[in-house]
Amino acid sequence: MLIIDAHLDLSMNALEWNRDLTLPVAAINAREAGLTDKPDRGKAVVSLPALRQGNVGLVVATQIARFVAPGNPLPGWHSPTQAWAQTQGQLAWYQAMEAAGEMVQINNLATLEQHLALWANDAPCENKPIGYILSLEGADSLVTVGHLEQAYARGLRAVGPAHYGPGRYAQGTDAAGGLGASGRALLKEMERLNIILDATHLCDESFWEALDHFHGPVWASHNNCRALVNHNRQYSDDQIRALAARGAVIGVALDAWMLVPGWVRGTSTPQALHCNLEVVVDHIDHICQLTGSALHIGLGTDLDGAFGREQCPYDLETIADLQKIPALLAKRGYSALAIENMLHGNWLRFLKNVWQ
């Protein structure tokens, strides 16, 4: 079954983690043997060959570069212009992958339909490019709201105004507060350009303000359920209902601390806390039961999003193992049509509505 993954930090892995994503996952991990500069060295699960193996033919791929003001302990860049330059380097990597035939940018209905036709034919997957929709995770790198039009011209089609902590346009995970004038101006320009609002990472105040002020398309590329894991990074039931009312699709993330309660970074293990793909289905099922259908849920795995096998379901060795999920959904009683919608149909319906 074709799978769409609505959140992968591919360019971050290529440039900041220095991973050659054209290689098999095993080769990437072998080259990282003995490295300790990142906590997930040698534990990657994502590469372009692994995506093809798992029939993950279309992804939402990020640009990401945080601005950090003096006193902000989070990692990031010391000026918005530095952050902008980092995102442009990430864009250059995607363009290099396109030139090599490894990837292809999907940015309108025509390119989407063409890519779907390519992946529907019987040619071997290893000969097919991975389609990517460009998304900006955290808007700090937009030096001005005017930079958004430049980014749109280069293919940007979704923006999450915030990431972790305080942001220049919105407040994110573990922060508090609303959008302010700059955030509202950003949303107005996004609406003009028909850019998707990614509500992921918005703190509660910024979330509700964004929904009040933005009248364009909204999705949540990678978010789980607060009712199952109580943290502000997750969505409350009221937020999930509000997103469904706007026609949004929510991508379930596979980061263990978002899947199971009680996770302690650097100490907990997926095995000890029984974090497997069944738990992923628990979050999917919660959203389906809450919204009354399987039409508002998809996958947005965030795999290799600064974590690896040490912090993802223990029965997933590479991203190709997403193909285990359909059987788990069927075991829960979901129909073939519902499973097809959750694996790709809901994202496709959403995109076709936005780009028609």
Which structural domains are found in the chain, ordered by start?
3-355 (3.20.20.140)
CA distances from 219 to 12, 189, 232, 252, 254 (A): 22, 17, 18, 12, 17
Short-list 156, 222, 220, CA closest to 189: 156
The string of pLDDT tens digits covering residues 2-34 is: 999 999 999 999 999 999 999 999 999 999 999
- With tokens 């363009």, the residue in question is 95
pLDDT, tens digit (0-9, with 9 covering 90-100), for 111-165:
999 999 999 998 888 889 999 999 999 999 999 999 999 999 999 999 999 999 9
Residue 178 has pLDDT above 90, yes or no: yes
The size of the chain, in residues, is 356
pLDDT at 318: 98
d(CA 308, CA 323): 18
Mean pLDDT, rounded, of the chain: 97
- Kindly give, in sequence order, each residue whose CB lies less than 8 Å from that of residue 171, ignoring residues fewer than 6 positions away: 162, 177, 178, 179, 202, 203, 205, 206
